Amino acid sequence: MKKSILLLSHSKKVTDGIKEMIEQMQRSEDVAIYSLGGIEDDQIGSDPTKIVEAINQSPDSDAYLVFADIGSAVLNAELAKDLLEEAQQEKYRLVDAPFVEGAFAAAITAGNTDDIEQIIQEAQQSGKKGWE
């Protein structure tokens, strides 16, 4: 089962860095990571069409797990779902989890299981550090 992790931020440097970190730790051919930060010319901002383009480039994916950092990136991730075809929308999940830790945990877990709910749960629990 192929899974796509889509990283949406206002900064391309942020998503490129997270993608690089994940790819150094996770090498499953069943998981594709997409860095979708910034807008044209690497300017600050977020663009829902980047998500649509990434999904159209990965039509064989069984799940699209989207992580967005703040504010309008989250709104654009929600908007992107509305721009997709119905079959794509059914595979689209906007994951409410810490951006860095959640995406990392999801990618590592996705390399070991096809259970989408387990992948999302691991992402959502990733921010709990247990520090006192």
- Residues with active-site annotation: 10
Residue 37: DSSP 8-state: -
Angstrom CA distances, 69 to 29, 76, 95, 113, stand at: 25, 11, 11, 25
CA distance linking residue 106 with residue 65, whole number of Å: 8
* CA pair distance 23, 31, nearest whole angstrom: 10
Q: In what helix (H) or strand (E) does residue 4 lie, and over which residues does it extend?
A: strand 3-8
